[in-house]
Amino acid sequence: MMPNGLAAIIKKEFTRFFTDRRMVLTTILMPGLLIYLVYSFIGSAMTNAFTVDEDYQPLIYVQNLPPSADALFFQLGIVLNPVDADEVATAKQFIQDKQADLLVIFPEDFDSLLAARTHYTSASAAVPPTDEPFNIDVFLNSTSSTSTNAYVLVNAVLDSYNTPTITINASGLTYDLASDEDTAGFLFASLLPMLMMVFLYSGCIGVAPESIAGEKERGTIATLLVTPLRRWQLALGKVLSLGVIALLAGASSFIGIMLSIPKMLGGALGDEGGAAFGGALYNVADYAQLLAVILSTVLLFIGIIAIISAFARSVREASTMTLPMMIVVMLVGALAMFSPGAQTELGYYLIPAYNSVQCFVGVLSFTTSPLSVWVTVAVNLLVTAACVFALTKMFNSEKVIFSR
Amino acid sequence: MANPQTIVQAKGLCKTFKLSAKQQRIENAPGRLRVAVDHLDLSANKGEIYGLLGPNGAGKTTVLRMLATLIKPDEGEAHIDGFSIGADPEKVRAAVGFLTSELKLEDFFTPDYLFGFFSTLHNVPPAIAAQRKDALFTRFGIDEFAQVKVGNLSTGMKQKASLVLSLVHNPDVIIFDEPTNGLDVITARVVTDYLLELRDQGKSIILSTHIFTLAEKLCDRMGIIINGRMVSEGTLEEVAAGRDLEEVFFDLYSAATKEVA
Ligand SMILES: Nc1ncnc2c1ncn2[C@@H]1O[C@H](COP(=O)(O)OP(=O)(O)OP(=O)(O)O)[C@@H](O)[C@H]1O
Ligand SMILES: [Mg+2]
C-alpha cells in the first residue's frame, strides 16, 4: 500500500494538471499536433518536389541482358542499355551522380540457366544444376525519385518470371548508390534520437519548474511542510507524478513524429518505402525496450530539473538555471548523429542521458543488446533515486525553502 | 488558576540569519549576520491564550516559525505538548495548527478540495474529516464559496479558508502569526471570537501581534519581545502592573535600545 501522504501528493499533482484544460492542451496536445502538422507539411512539400513525369524514359543499364528480359521490357516501351563488365563502374558512378537511374546485372546466360533448371531431367544433363537461386542485382540511388521509380518498375517486371529460382539483390552488396549523407532514411534515423531527447526534455521542462520552483515562489510548499507529511513522500510524489505528465507530453511529440514519418519518407523514398519504414518495421520487444528507456529517461530528467528548480527562487530563475542542461541534452543527442551504430561497450551505458541516446540509436538501427538497455534503465533509475534523496534533503532545508 | 500546566516551553532559542548581499543593500544593514532571536525563553499554559508582543522586526514571526518546526533554531530547545521541536518535528506538526500569511494556498484548488487534501496529510479518517468540514465551513460561512477556486476569493475569504485548513486535524495547540492582519473589523472580530471559543474548548493558543489593545483583550499571558529578546513575560497584571500597556512597552523599548547604544 502506498503511504497516504505520497498518494495524496500524486493525486493533487494529477488533479492540478488534468482538470486544467488549458494545461492539458498546451502541454500534451499541442506539441504532438504541431509536430505532426509541420512534418507532414515538409513531407508533402518533398513529395511534390519528387513527383516523376509520366512520360519519363528511365535510363537503365543492363549487364548480361537475356533476350527474355529484353522482350518483357520492350512490351512496356522501355529501352534497356546493355553494358559490358568493364563499363559497370562507370554506370554506377552515373547512377550516384543521378545521370542514370538503374544498373541491372543478370547472371551470365540467364535464359539457358533458367531453362536448364526448369526442364532438368537426369537424361538432359550429366550434372544436375545447383538448387541455389539465381540472383539479379539492381543498383539504384534512393535519393533520386526517377531511380526509385525505375526500381519499383524493374522489380515488378522481374516478378513476372514468377519463379522461386530467382532472387533480387540477395548478394549482400550495397545496392543503394546514394552517398550516405544524402539518404533521407539515414538522415531521419540519425536525427530521431536527438529529437526524442529534446522532446522528452521539453516535456519535463514544461511541468517540473512550475510545480516546484512555482510552489516555492508562491509560498504554497511551506503550507505542506507544516503538516506531518514526510519530506521523502513529497519529493517522491512530485517526481513520480511529474514524470507521468512529462511522459505524456513526450509521448505526444513522439506520436506526432511517428504519424508524420510515412509522409516525410513518402516524399523521398516513394510512398511504399515510407509506409514500410513507419509501419511494422519494429517488433513488440523493440517497442518495449524503447518505452523502458523513455520512461527512465523522463524520470532522470524530472529528478535533475526538480533539484535545479528547488534551488531556484522563481520559475523564471529555474528556466535560466536549466538552460545549460538543455544544451547538454541537445549535444548528447547530436552525438548520435555522427555515430554509425550504437556503442557496444557496456561502459558507455553507465553514463546517464548518453546511455539513453545510445539505446535509441541501438533500437532504431537493430543493433541493441537487451543487457545495455537494462543497464541504461537501472543507471537512470538509480540517478533518479539519488535525486529524490537529494530533493528530500532540500525540502528539509530552510535555506532552500525560504531563500530570498 | 490553580497550578497551570505548561504546554509550550522554550529555552534559550537563538536564530541568526545570513543576509544576502542584496538584502544587506536594501535594509542598509551593517553586517552579513542578523540576529533575529537572541536566547529567548517562553512558556505558555494549557488552555490559555499567549500573546507575543513586539514591534516590527522584533523576531515574533521567527519564534513562531521555530515553534512550528518550519525553521530550526541555531541554539536552544522547545517542547510542545511534550514533543521536542528538534527531535520529534513530525509529532509537533501533528499537534500544532500553524497559521501565518506566508503559508499560501494554491490558487487552482477549491477550499472543499483542500480540506480533503490537508485532512489526508494529517491522517484524519475521511468520516471525521467530513464531519469537521461541515462544522467548520458552516461556522465560517465557507460553504458559500467552498467550490470557488482560492485564486478567485477575496482576502477575507482566503484568510477564513486558511484558518479552517490549519485546523483540519483539530490540534491542541494553535500558533497564529498576526491573526487580524489585513482583515476588516468584521472579519477580524469573527477570528478573535473564534480564538476565544477555541480557548474555552481547552485549546492552547500562541499568537503574535503588535496591536496592544488586541493583546489586552485576548491574552491570558503575554511576552514582550524586542530585538529578539524576551524583555518581560507574565499575565497582563504582571507585565503592566496597573499601568497602560503601551506606556510600559515604550519604557521597555527605550531601555532596551539604550542598552544597545
Ligand atoms: N529568512 C530570513 N533571512 C534573513 N533575515 C530574516 C529572515 N527572516 C527574518 N529575518 C530578519 O529577522 C528579523 C526578525 O524578523 P521577524 O519576521 O521575525 O520579525 P517580526 O517580529 O515578525 O516583525 P513583523 O512585525 O514586521 O512581522 C528581521 O530583521 C528580519 O529582517
Ligand atoms: Mg512577523
Distance A148 CA to ligand 1 centre (A): 76
Range of the domain at A124: 60-100+102-139+144-177
Polymer length in residues for chain A = 404
- A307 and A365, same domain (yes or no): yes
Query: Is A255 in a helix, a strand, or coil?
Result: helix
Residue A52, domain member (yes or no): no
Under a CB-based contact definition with an 8 Å cutoff, are residues A63 and A82 in contact?
yes
User: What is the average pLDDT across B257-261?
Assistant: 68
Q: For position A47, what pLDDT does the model report?
A: 59
Q: Is the CB of B28 under 6 A from ligand 1?
A: no
User: What is the average pLDDT across B235-251?
Assistant: 88
Q: For position A277, what pLDDT does the model report?
A: 46
Residue A50, domain member (yes or no): no
Better-scored residue on pLDDT, B176 or B1: B176
- Interatomic CA distance for residues A297 and A247, integer angstroms: 9
Q: What is the DSSP letter of A107?
A: P
Chain B residues with CB inside 8 Å of A5's CB? Answer: 120-121
Q: Identify any residues that bridge with A167 across adjacent strands, giving them in sequence order.
A: A135
Residue A108, domain member (yes or no): yes
Q: In what order do the strands lie in the sheet with B75-80?
A: B33-45, B6-18, B75-80, B83-84
- A316 and A220, same domain (yes or no): yes
Query: Is A143 in a helix, a strand, or coil?
Result: coil
Under a CB-based contact definition with an 8 Å cutoff, are residues B51 and B208 in contact?
yes
- A167 and A193, same domain (yes or no): no
Residue A54, domain member (yes or no): no
Q: For position A280, what pLDDT does the model report?
A: 42
Per-residue pLDDT of chain A (404 residues; tens, 9 = 90+): 788 899 999 999 999 999 999 889 988 888 888 878 877 777 666 655 556 666 788 899 999 999 988 888 888 888 899 999 999 999 999 998 888 999 999 998 888 888 877 766 555 555 555 667 788 999 988 777 788 888 888 888 888 776 677 888 887 777 877 765 455 555 666 777 888 888 889 889 989 999 999 999 999 999 999 999 999 999 999 999 999 999 998 888 878 877 776 666 554 444 444 444 444 456 677 778 888 999 999 999 999 999 999 999 999 999 999 999 999 999 998 887 776 667 788 888 999 999 999 888 887 766 778 899 999 999 999 999 999 999 999 999 988 888 76
Q: Is the CB of B253 under 6 A from ligand 1?
A: no
Distance B110 CA to ligand 2 centre (A): 27
- A90 and A166, same domain (yes or no): yes
Chain A residues with CB inside 8 Å of B90's CB? Answer: 228, 230
Cβ separation of B104 and A227 shorter than 8 Å?
no
Most confident of A118-132, A365-379, B6-20, B243-257: B6-20
pLDDT bracket for residue B61 (50, 70, 90): very high
- A281 and A357, same domain (yes or no): yes
- A157 and A213, same domain (yes or no): no
Query: From the candidates A221, A223, A403, A404, which should be mutated to test the interface with B, based on the most B CB atoms within 10 A?
Result: A223
Report the domain count for chain A: 2
Cβ separation of B106 and A215 shorter than 8 Å?
yes
Q: For position A274, what pLDDT does the model report?
A: 45
Chain B residues with CB inside 8 Å of A16's CB? Answer: 106, 108-109
Residues 149-168 of B with CB under 8 A from A: none
Ligand 1 atom 11: the closest Cα is on which residue? Answer: B36
Cβ separation of A404 and B20 shorter than 8 Å?
yes
Distance A318 CA to ligand 2 centre (A): 28
Cβ separation of A219 and B71 shorter than 8 Å?
no
Distance B34 CA to ligand 1 centre (A): 9
- A194 and A166, same domain (yes or no): no
Under a CB-based contact definition with an 8 Å cutoff, are residues B17 and A403 in contact?
no
Distance B227 CA to ligand 1 centre (A): 10
Contact status of A4 with chain B (Cβ, < 8 Å):
yes
Residue A53, domain member (yes or no): no
Q: For position A126, what pLDDT does the model report?
A: 55
Q: Is the CB of A402 under 6 A from ligand 1?
A: yes
Q: For position A45, what pLDDT does the model report?
A: 66
- Provide the sign of the torsion angle of the four alpha carbons B132, B138, B139, B140, taken in this order: positive
Residue A392, domain member (yes or no): yes
- Interatomic CA distance for residues A336 and A327, integer angstroms: 15
Domain residue limits, chain B: 6-101+171-260, 104-165
Contact status of A230 with chain B (Cβ, < 8 Å):
yes
ipTM score: 0.90
For residue A51, what is its C-alpha cell? Answer: 513527383
Distance B184 CA to ligand 1 centre (A): 25
pLDDT bracket for residue B72 (50, 70, 90): very high
Residue the block writes with cell 513529395: A47
End-to-end CA distance of chain A: 38
Q: What is the dihedral of CA B207, B210, B216, B217, to 10 degrees?
A: -60
* pLDDT, tens digit, 9 for 90 and up, residues B98-111: 999 888 999 999 99
Q: Is the CB of B36 under 6 A from ligand 1?
A: yes
Better-scored residue on pLDDT, B257 or A282: B257
- Non-local (6+) Cβ contacts of A21 within 8 A are none
- Interatomic CA distance for residues A365 and A369, integer angstroms: 11
B95 pLDDT above the threshold of 50? yes
Cβ separation of B121 and A224 shorter than 8 Å?
yes
Chain B residues with CB inside 8 Å of A226's CB? Answer: 68-70, 93, 96, 98, 103
- A274 and A383, same domain (yes or no): yes
- A160 and A225, same domain (yes or no): no
pLDDT bracket for residue B1 (50, 70, 90): very low
Under a CB-based contact definition with an 8 Å cutoff, are residues A167 and A136 in contact?
yes
Residues 67-96 of B with CB under 8 A from A: 68-72, 90-91, 93-94, 96
Nearest atom in ligand 1 to the alpha carbon of residue B210 is: 25
Q: Nearest-CA residue of chain B relative to A217?
A: B104
**CATH level 3 topology of B6-101+171-260:** Rossmann fold (3.40.50)
Residue A286, domain member (yes or no): yes
- pTM across the whole model: 0.78
User: What is the average pLDDT across B89-95?
Assistant: 95
Under a CB-based contact definition with an 8 Å cutoff, are residues A330 and A194 in contact?
yes
- Interatomic CA distance for residues B66 and A294, integer angstroms: 43
- Non-local (6+) Cβ contacts of B9 within 8 A are B42, B43, B44, B78, B79
Beta-strand ranges (E) seen in B56-172 are 75-80, 83-84, 96-99
Residue A55, domain member (yes or no): no
- Interatomic CA distance for residues A231 and A222, integer angstroms: 11
For residue A105, what is its C-alpha cell? Answer: 546485372
- A390 and A248, same domain (yes or no): yes
From the list B72, B94, B103, the residue facing A219 with the nearest CB is B103
* pLDDT, tens digit, 9 for 90 and up, residues B153-169: 998 899 999 999 999 99
Nearest atom in ligand 1 to the alpha carbon of residue B20 is: 4
Under a CB-based contact definition with an 8 Å cutoff, are residues B146 and B160 in contact?
no
Average pLDDT in chain B = 92
